[in-house]
Amino acid sequence: MKRCAFSLLLILNVLIVYSNHFHNDFQFDDTNAIPNNPAIRQSSTIFRAFADPKLFSAAPTQRTYRPLTTASLALDYWIAGGFDVFFFHLSTFIWFSLQLVLMFLLFENLMDRADPHPSNFWTALAAAALFGMHPVNAETVNFIIQRSEVYNALGCVAGLWLFVRYSSQRRFGWYLIPVALAILAKPPALVFPLLLFAYVLLFETPKMSGPRRWKSAALAAMPSLALACAAAILLKRMQPRSWNPGTVSAGAYRLTQPLAVLHYFKSFFLPTGLNVDAGWHYAAPASLPAIAGYLFVLGMVAAAIAAARSHTGKPIAFGLAWFLIALLPTSLMPLGDITNDHRMFFAFVGLTLAVFWTLRLALFHATARLTHRDAWVHVSLAALVVVLILAAEGTRMRNRVWLTHRSLWSDSVAKNPRNDRALSNYGSMLYEEGDYETAFRYWERALAINPAFARARSNLVLAAARLHRTDLMDRYLLSMVRLYPSNPLVYSTYADWLASVGRFTEAVSLLDQAQQLDPQSEEIRQMRIGVLTRRDAADRILLFRILDADHNASLSPGEIVAAPAALLSLDRNGDGELTPEECGASFGDVSHLTPSALKAARVNFMRANPLLWALDSDHDGVISAAEIHNADKQLQQLDRNRDGSVESPETVPGYVYGAALRLMKRLDWNRNGRIDAEELNSEALRGLFATADLDKDGNISLGELTNDLFYRADRDRNGVVTRDELAAALREFEAALHRSPSGIEQ
């Protein structure tokens, strides 16, 4: 009962410390793994995650096999009924609380094995309390996707506690269950056999001689080693090939890790400089910082060995061993980030044990096992209270830092203003808030630090566009193409901007290059279709381009009045008339055509283009001088909606416009004059209309639908749509409609 009561008190105090973190936003890697990940929205992911590693993240390079973590996130979404961040934080905190209780019980057991005394209860409780309130651990508890670190620590602590507490049940292997679950949450739990080996070697074989002692410890760890080997094989086979750790140099990474270990150790006692993205660089192998790291790790190993020689020092040896072993996976496996604050979470379990047992031994030595010098005991208790209060306040401060994107990245930039990625991320946050000018400055700083930073360069393009700095667009985009000639994203980004300013030919050329680099990219294919659609909507025929002086895909009343003068600019031979060829027609080699056949071809070209057909009022295949003079009156006949202007859709044949009207009627269920996103309720329909939304407002107007239908029908891109071509295009729409849900109104 005593342990239950104080366990609840421990959890209550830690809950108070973390009470201001439950509404902190999804941050950093959370975004692709949770809110932007469609798999999290599906309850089936709770089970499918164990068979499909691609469900972990929406970003292919971040996909890795952590099925238990993915399943837990999908379960949280199902319980919350959405992305209510409170439930995701609550879930993590519950498991964190359970870990603290098991740490308390495990620590007490280990301490009693080394030196039984009633004070071990309070020492273990204080150790668990400090771990729960330590500011460093706030970097893990607040980082939702890194709950996998909590699962790692919890699984290993639970497995070891079951092994220690229920020794008679070891043969059944119950202690391996939480370990297996921890490994499925994140690979670092694979080190459990080493932790178990260290425990048995230190605590259960002290009376055995050399070889027998090591053999006994190895045999005890053998079942867990078999589990770890099987799990490692599974993890390797399930790991997606698209995963990219982002390592620049594996050798330099590993040689810098001893310095990282020294940093982690320092952070336990002085947790300053906590940062979501520290931005460390590789240390030169022979530099003083690197040498300090090597010497520190050797000193830690020596300290653990020295502590193991004494029976009362075994918890220190085990704690230091845990600290080093828990850091082995991230030290040996090259990753993109040299350090990460959440990596300390698992390792600090052991370091907490070692530090508190060291303090307990020091206090016992100074007070003759608490029987003398009460002042020392009182001062120690007062110091503990002060440390816990300071730790609690530090944790609450870190919780506030993790509240929003702005607070998190402004903190990161303030602590390391030379971190290009932090500068870029802070700029992205400012851009999302609409502060384009400031975002531009932060991205410029990031690019100045790292000229090869592609994302900062592409972000500068976005900001320059928002700020109407067209003078910078070509410069940045061309530099991106020169720096990354094999990256299709660079070409598509450049093409998107070129299309936005009407430079369609250049945009299509760049998208063709992007398609060659990535032939399977559906996104690039759809972008190319979209650019061509926008080009055809504005430049359906040469004549429309000439009349549309402001290039807004609409002939205004003023442009209609000015039509006669504009038409004369097409008269290449100066005869005062316009032939179909002068209006954009191309009949190829006409030498084999009879005069009547050529005239019929010219008339058919005019008839297929309402704009030309209206101007050629006598329908003889030529726009005469008189017809040019009356062009404004003839063009007004095309104004179907009588708004005084001739829109691009009104220049398509009437049968195309009529087909678009019928399609609009079938799809516009709510009769609001447009096709809304919810009315495209199937993948087939969404794919079919992916390029129709020219103004990107989320809706498809009648004009946009008409343009899209014309573009799809005009397969030979001659600016003419025959009835047969239209029928073929309509069959595509019919097929998509039949594949859509039965609820669609036909």
Residue 242 CB contacts under 8 Å (≥ 6 apart), including other chains: 60, 61, 63
Residue with tokens 């030309």: 612
**Other Cβ atoms within 10 Å of 171 Cβ, number:** 8
Distance CA(667)–CA(619), nearest Å, equals 36
The pLDDT tens digits for 71-111 are 999 999 999 999 999 999 999 999 999 999 999 999 999 99
Are the CB atoms for 17 and 142 separated by under 8 Å?
no
Residue 435 CB contacts under 8 Å (≥ 6 apart), including other chains: none
∠ Cα 318 323 328 (to 5°): 120
How many secondary structure helices (H) and strands (E) does the chain include? 36, 2
Confidence label for 744 from pLDDT (cuts 50, 70 and 90): very low
pLDDT recorded at residue 90 = 97
The per-residue DSSP string of 540-605 comes to: SSHHHHHH-TT-SSEE-HHHHHTHHHHHHTT-TT-SS-B-TGGGT------TTS-HHHHHHHHHHH
Are the CB atoms for 32 and 58 separated by under 8 Å?
yes
pLDDT recorded at residue 682 = 64
Dihedral sign, CA of 93, 95, 98, 104?
negative
Specify the long-range contacts of residues 137-140, CB closer than 8 Å, at least 24 apart.
137/344, 137/345, 137/348, 137/395, 138/18, 138/21, 138/274, 138/394, 138/395, 138/398, 138/399, 138/402, 139/274, 139/276, 139/341, 139/342, 139/344, 139/345, 139/398, 140/341, 140/342, 140/345
∠ Cα 154 158 159 (to 5°): 120
Are the CB atoms for 691 and 529 separated by under 8 Å?
yes
The segment with the largest mean pLDDT, out of 404-408, 573-577, 611-615, is: 404-408
pLDDT of 538 above 60 = no
pLDDT recorded at residue 539 = 46
The per-residue DSSP string of 311-324 comes to: STTHHHHHHHHHHH
Confidence label for 551 from pLDDT (cuts 50, 70 and 90): low
The pLDDT tens digits for 428-466 are 889 888 898 999 999 999 989 988 787 888 788 778 878
